[in-house]
Structure 1
Amino acid sequence: MIITGDDSEYIAFVKARFRDQFLMTDLGPLRYFLGIEVSSTSDGFYISQEKYIQDLLARAALGYERTVETPIELNVKLHPTDGDPLHDPTRYRHLVGSLVYLAVTRPDISYPVHILSQFVSALTTVHYSHLLRVLRYLRRTITCCLFFPRSSSLQLQCYSDAKWASDPLDRRCFSAYCVFLGGSLIAWKTKKQTSVSRSSVEAELRAMALLTAEVTWLRWLLADFEVSITTPTLVLSDSFTCY
C-alpha cells in the first residue's frame, strides 16, 4: 500500500491504524514499485522504468552495437502477410506484453506498441524486426523519464491528432492524445477508431471526441480532489482548436 500526502502527522496516524489491523512493514519513501522507479528532488518527481528496460533488453538477448533514433519508421504500414511466419511466436508476445506495461511511463512508444500489438496472433519476421527496432530505440533512450514539477499550475492542456486511413487493411484511422496538468503529462493514449472516417477532418473530429471524453472525466476527478477549474479546457489539434 502507498500512502501519499503533505500532512505527515495524519500519514503517521493512518499507518498506525493499519498496523493495528494488519501485519505490515513501513518501507519508507517510495522509490521502487512494480518496476517503476520514483526519484524525489526539490524540483519535483521523476518517474522511470530504467531497470525494467535493462531487464527487458537482457531477456530479448539483443546485441549492444546498434541503436536507433525513432521507435518506428516514418509512414510505415505493416500488413499481416509481410515476411515469413515465425515458427515460435512466444518471445514476440512476451516482449510486446512487456512493452505495453513499459508504456505506463514511456508515452513515446505508445504508438508503435499499439501497432505491434495487432499482430500477436499472426506474426511474421517483418513484425519481429520492427519490434527489435523499438528495443534498440529504448536502449538509446533508456534514461528518459517523466517529470512532475512541484510548482505547477492546475490547468489542463490537451492535444489530439489523428492519422487518416492509417490501417492499410480496414482503412480505419488512429486517434492519439496527451493531457498535461500544468507542466505534468498525466494522460496519453493511442487507439484505432471504431469506424472508417471518410475524410481527414472527420478523423480529427473523432480524435477530439475521444479526448473530450477523457478531459470531462479528468475534470470530474479533479473536482473530487477539491481542485477547482473554473475556466474552459483548451483542446488543441493540428486542424482545430476548441473549448
Structure 2
Amino acid sequence: MELNVHLCATDGVLLADPTRYRHIVGSLVYFGVTHPDISYYVHILSQFVSSPTQVHYSHLLRVLRYFHGTISCRLFFPRSSSLQLQAYYDATWASDSSDRRSLSAYCIFLGGSFIAWKTKKQTAVSRSSAEAELRAMALMTTEVTWLRWLPEDFGVSVSRPTPLLSDNTGAISIARDPAKHELSKHIGVDVFYTRAQVQDGVVGLQYVPLELQLADFLTKAQTRAQHRFYLSKLSIVDPP
C-alpha cells in the first residue's frame, strides 16, 4: 500500500457490483491466517466491504499483485527454537480519520518462531498516544496470559515473566507505577489489569527502540526497505 494513504468510505465512485470485492477480501482474510505480511492491508480493506468504491478496489488489486509475487513466501519455524515467549505490541494514535480511533497490533514469538499476530481497531477513542498504547498493552497482556497456559498443557513449565516490548516509555511508566492514578483513571480497567499481571510476574515490560519495534509492521504501510527488514525479522522467507 502507498505510504501515508488514509482511505475513507467516501473515496471514489461506488462499485456497481461489490460482490467481487467482497469475495477477494474474504479470501485474503483466510490467507492472512498464514501470511502476516498482509495483515494490516486486509484490515484496512475489509472495513469497506459494505460499500466499496473504485479507489478501494484499486488498492485491493495492488495487494493482489503483491500477493501474486510473493505466493511462495512462508513462515519458517526453526527446529532448535526455545520455548520462551516474547511479545511486541504497538499502537497508532487517532489514525482513522473517520472516527479518530487508534489501531492496536501485536506479534508473539515462541523462541524464534512467529506464532501469533493481530491488527485491530480499538473500541474507544484515545485522548493521547500513551492511552492508545495502554489499550494495546492490555490486549497483548490478555493474549500472552492465555498463551502461557498452553505450554503447561504439554508439560512445559513457564516460570519467567514474558517480555512485552514497547517503544512508548510513557505507557510503560504508567503501567509500572501504581501512584500514577491521575494519569490513568479515565482508561478504565485496562491499566489496572496490566499492572496486576506485571506485579504477579506474568509479564515484564521492556523498552525497545522504534526501529526494532516489530509490531510496527502491522500498523501502517512501510517502504520497500522496511518491508524487507520486517520480513526477515518475522522469519517470513522465500525457500529455494
* Same fold flag (TM > 0.5): yes
- CA shift for structure 1 position 136: 1.1
1:84-233 pair list within 5 angstroms: 84-233=13-162
Q: Counterpart of 2:175? A: none
Q: Deviations over 1:67-116 (max 9, x none)?
A: xxxxx122221110100000010100000000000001110110110111
Q: Which has the higher contact order (CA 8 A, sep 6+)?
A: 2
Specify which structure has the higher proportion of helix. 2
SS at match of 2:105: strand
SS at match of 2:77: strand
Paired positions, count: 172
RMSD: 1.1
2:165 aligns with one of 227, 231, 236: 236
Letter in 2 for 1:136: R
What is the rounded CA distance, in whole Å, between the counterparts of 1:74 and 1:211 in structure 2? 26
- CA shift for structure 1 position 227: 1.5
Larger radius of gyration: 1
TM-score (norm 1): 0.69
What is the rounded CA distance, in whole Å, between the counterparts of 2:2 and 2:145 in structure 1? 34
Q: Deviations over 1:159-210 (max 9, x none)?
A: 0011111111110011000000001011000000010000111111111111
Q: Counterpart of 1:54? A: none
What is the rounded CA distance, in whole Å, between the counterparts of 2:90 and 2:4 in structure 1? 15
SS at match of 1:149: coil
What is the rounded CA distance, in whole Å, between the counterparts of 1:104 and 1:154 in structure 2? 22
What is the rounded CA distance, in whole Å, between the counterparts of 1:74 and 1:147 in structure 2? 28
Report the identity percentage.
73
Q: Which moved more, 1:74-83 or 1:183-192?
A: 74-83
- CA shift for structure 1 position 142: 1.8
TM-score (norm 2): 0.70
The 4+ residue runs of structure 1 with deviation greater than 4 A are none
Q: Deviations over 1:26-62 (max 9, x none)?
A: xxxxxxxxxxxxxxxxxxxxxxxxxxxxxxxxxxxxx
Q: Deviations over 1:99-154 (max 9, x none)?
A: 00000111011011011111000110000011011111112222210011111110
Letter in 2 for 1:211: M
